[in-house]
C-alpha cells in the first residue's frame, strides 16, 4: 500500500484520540495555536554528545532568549552543548507559522496534529535511536553488498529474480536494511542523517529491482536536499531506471489502461510515460550534470516514437538552444527537423514552422559535414529540405490564388512575384509567371459593391 495512504489513514484514525488528549495536554489559559513552555530544562551530556558539540560549536549561532542553534539540527542547545527541552515538549502543540510570499505553511494543522500524536506514543524525533537504527541498516547493507560482490547477484533479465538460497539472502538483507533506513529517516528528519538514510534506502530498492520505490526515494532525497552530496549518484540511478522502463515497454508493450500490480520492476501505469517523467526529473534536478542533455534527447525520442510531434520538437529545440556544446547536437537538428516538419498542417496554417525547418536543414548541411558524409543520409536531408521549400511555395501559391479569385490582383501579383524570386526551381514558378501575364490588364483592386452607398456619403460630405 502506498505510504502516503498509510499516513493519511493513521491521521484519520488518531484524530479522535488526539482531540481528547488536547484537553489535558495544554496548560490552562494557554492559546489553542501554540503552547508556551513556562520553563526549560536541559538533558545531561554523554561523551558522544560532547564530541558532537566540539565538532559543531564553530557553526552554531546564538538566538537571544532561545539558546544556540546548529544548522541541520532541530532545537536549541546551551553553550556547553546540552539540548534545551521544554518541560511540556511531549504534549506541546505545534505553532502555526504564517506562510511567506503567498506560499503554504510547511507545518499544516493536520501535520501538527499528527506530530503531536507521534510524540504522545513515543514515536517523535529521536536522534539516538535514529543513529542506532542507521548503523544497524548499514551493517545489513554491507553484508548484502558483499554477497553481490561475490557474484550472488539478482538476475534482472525480464524483471524476474533467479531464486536460489544466496539471492534470497541478499534480497532479504536489502529488505531489512531498507526498513532500518526508512525508520531512521523518520525518527530524525531534515538532517544529514536522514539524507544518508534516504539515499541508502533508495540503493536497497535499486539493487533488488524495486525501481518504483527506488525512484520515490531518490526523488524525495533531491526534493528535500537540493544540494545533496548524493546528487550525481541519485541522478545516475534515476537515468538507469528510465532506460530500463523504456526497454521493457518496447519488449512488452502495455497500454495506459492496463495497470501493473504484480511486477515490482515496472511502474504502476505505462512504462514509457514513467520513463519520460524520470528523465525530466534528471535534467531538472541536475541541469548542468553530464546526463542532462542525454535525458532531454531521450524525452524527445520517446515523444517522436509516440508521434507527439509538438512535445518532441520542444525538447529538441531545448537541446539545441540550451546545450550548444552537447554531443547530441546532430541528433537534435536531424530529429528536430523531422518533428517540426510533421507539425506543419498545410497551406492554410502559419508558415513559421516551415521557415524554421529550412533554417535547421541549412545548418545540418553546413555544420555537420562529417555526420552527413554518408551519401544516403545527406540525400535524405536534402530531400526533406526540398519538400520544405515545396510546401512553402505551395502556401504562397494558395494565398496568391485566394487574392486573385477575390479580385485583389495587386496582392496576388505580389505573392506570385515572391514565388518566382524565392522558389525559382519549384513547379509553381512558371505558373506564377503565366498568372502575372494574365493579370496584366486587370484592375489592382475589385470594384466596390457598395459604390452607391459611398457616393451618397461623399455627396453629403461635400454639402
Q: Return the minimum-mean-pLDDT range out of 121-130, 228-237, 303-312, 448-457.
A: 448-457
Alpha-helix runs per DSSP H in 270-344: 271-285, 292-305, 309-322, 329-343
Mean pLDDT of all residues in 108-131: 71
The Cα 446–Cα 410 span in angstroms is 10
Indicate whether 166 pLDDT > 70: no
Q: What is the pLDDT of residues 368-401, one digit of tens each?
A: 989 888 888 889 999 988 888 888 888 888 898 8
Residue 27: band (very low, low, confident or very high) from pLDDT cuts 50, 70, 90: very low
Q: Return the minimum-mean-pLDDT range out of 5-9, 194-198, 223-227, 435-439.
A: 5-9
Going by their DSSP bridges, the two strands 76-77 and 83-85 should be labelled as: antiparallel
Range 295-300 contact pairs with CB under 8 angstroms and sequence separation of 24 or more: 295/239, 295/242, 296/323, 297/328, 297/331, 297/332, 298/242, 298/243, 298/246, 300/332, 300/335, 300/336, 300/339
Q: What are phi and psi of 2, to 5 degrees?
A: -60, 135
pLDDT at 29: 35
pLDDT at 88: 44
pLDDT at 151: 56
pLDDT at 177: 94
Query: Would you give the distance in Å from CA 212 to the centre of its chain?
Result: 15
pLDDT at 57: 83
**At 68, is the secondary structure helix, strand, or coil?**
strand
Q: Which residues of 354-371 are buried (b: 16+ CB within 10 A; e: fewer)?
A: bebbeebbeebeeebeeb
Mean pLDDT of all residues in 264-269: 84
Q: Return the minimum-mean-pLDDT range out of 24-38, 48-62, 221-235, 447-461.
A: 24-38
**At 63, is the secondary structure helix, strand, or coil?**
strand
Indicate whether 277 pLDDT > 90: yes
Alpha-helix runs per DSSP H in 323-422: 329-343, 352-367, 375-405, 409-422
**C-alpha distances in Å from residue 232, one per residue of 7, 189, 291, 339:** 30, 22, 9, 31
Closest CA to 303 of 277, 268, 333, 326: 277
Residue 3: band (very low, low, confident or very high) from pLDDT cuts 50, 70, 90: low
Percent of all residues in the chain with a pLDDT value above 70, rounded to a whole number: 73
Which domains are assigned to the chain? 1-37+89-124 (no CATH), 40-85 (no CATH), 127-392 (1.25.40.10)
Most confident region among 18-32, 59-73, 271-285 by mean pLDDT: 271-285
Q: Return the minimum-mean-pLDDT range out of 70-79, 181-190, 244-253.
A: 70-79
Supply the mean pLDDT for the chain: 79
Q: Return the minimum-mean-pLDDT range out of 240-249, 250-259, 368-377, 443-452.
A: 443-452
Mean pLDDT of all residues in 227-235: 94
The Cα 360–Cα 355 span in angstroms is 9
pLDDT at 134: 94
The Cα 33–Cα 55 span in angstroms is 36
pLDDT at 9: 53
Mean pLDDT of all residues in 168-175: 84
pLDDT at 96: 36
Indicate whether 95 pLDDT > 60: no
Amino acid at each position: 500500500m502506498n505510504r502516503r495512504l498509510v499516513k493519511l489513514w493513521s491521521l484519520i484514525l488518531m484524530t479522535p484520540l488526539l482531540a481528547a488528549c488536547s484537553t489535558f495536554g495544554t496548560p490552562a489559559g494557554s492559546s489553542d495555536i501554540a503552547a508556551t513552555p513556562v520553563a526549560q530544562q536541559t538533558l545531561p551530556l554523554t561523551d558522544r554528545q560532547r564530541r558532537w558539540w566540539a565538532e559543531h560549536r564553530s557553526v552554531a549561532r546564538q538566538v537571544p532568549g532561545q539558546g544556540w542553534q546548529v544548522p541541520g539540527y532541530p532545537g536549541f542547545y546551551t553553550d556547553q552543548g546540552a539540548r534545551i527541552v521544554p518541560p511540556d515538549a511531549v504534549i506541546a502543540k505545534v505553532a502555526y507559522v504564517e506562510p511567506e510570499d503567498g506560499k503554504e505553511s510547511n507545518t499544516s494543522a493536520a501535520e501538527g496534529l499528527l506530530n503531536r500524536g507521534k510524540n504522545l506514543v513515543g514515536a517523535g524525533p529521536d536522534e539516538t535511536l535514529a543513529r542506532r537504527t542507521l548503523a544497524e541498516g548499514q551493517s545489513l547493507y554491507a553484508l548484502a553488498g558483499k554477497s553481490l560482490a561475490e557474484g550472488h547477484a539478482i538476475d534482472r533479465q525480464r524483471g524476474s529474480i533467479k531464486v536460489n538460497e544466496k539471492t534470497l539472502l541478499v534480497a532479504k538483507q536489502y529488505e531489512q536494511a531498507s526498513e532500518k533506513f526508512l525508520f531512521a529517516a523518520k525518527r530524525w528528519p531534515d538532517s544529514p542523517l536522514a539524507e544518508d538514510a534516504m539515499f541508502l534506502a533508495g540503493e536497497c530498492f535499486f539493487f533488488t529491482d524495486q525501481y518504483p520505490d527506488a525512484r520515490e526515494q531518490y526523488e524525495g532525497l533531491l526534493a528535500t536536499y537540493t544540494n545533496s552530496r548524493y546528487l550525481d549518484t541519485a541522478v545516475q540511478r534515476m537515468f538507469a531506471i528510465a532506460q530500463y522502463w523504456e526497454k521493457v515497454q518496447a519488449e512488452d508493450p502495455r497500454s495506459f489502461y492496463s495497470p501493473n500490480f504484480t511486477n515490482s520492476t515496472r511502474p504502476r501505469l505505462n512504462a514509457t510515460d514513467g520513463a519520460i517523467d524520470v528523465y525530466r526529473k534528471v535534467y531538472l534536478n541536475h541541469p548542468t550534470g553530464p546526463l542532462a542533455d542525454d535525458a532531454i534527447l531521450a524525452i524527445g525520442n520517446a515523444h517522436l516514437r509516440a508521434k507527439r510531434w509538438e512535445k518532441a520538437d520542444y525538447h529538441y529545440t531545448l537541446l539545441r538552444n540550451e546545450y550548444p556544446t552537447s554531443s547530441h547536437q546532430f541528433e537534435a537538428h536531424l530529429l528536430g527537423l523531422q518533428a517540426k516538419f510533421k507539425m506543419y498542417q498545410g497551406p492554410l496554417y502559419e508558415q513559421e514552422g516551415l521557415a524554421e525547418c529550412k533554417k535547421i536543414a541549412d545548418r545540418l548541411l553546413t555544420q555537420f559535414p562529417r555526420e552527413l558524409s554518408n551519401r544516403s543520409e545527406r540525400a535524405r536531408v536534402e530531400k526533406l529540405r526540398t519538400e520544405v521549400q515545396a510546401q512553402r511555395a505551395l502556401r504562397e501559391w494558395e494565398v496568391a490564388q485566394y487574392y486573385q479569385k477575390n479580385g485583389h490582383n495587386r496582392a496576388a501579383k505580389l505573392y506570385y512575384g515572391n514565388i518566382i524570386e524565392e522558389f525559382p526551381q519549384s513547379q509553381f514558378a512558371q505558373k506564377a509567371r503565366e498568372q502575372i501575364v494574365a493579370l496584366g490588364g486587370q484592375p489592382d483592386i475589385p470594384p466596390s459593391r457598395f459604390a452607391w452607398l459611398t457616393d451618397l456619403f461623399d455627396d453629403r460630405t461635400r454639402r
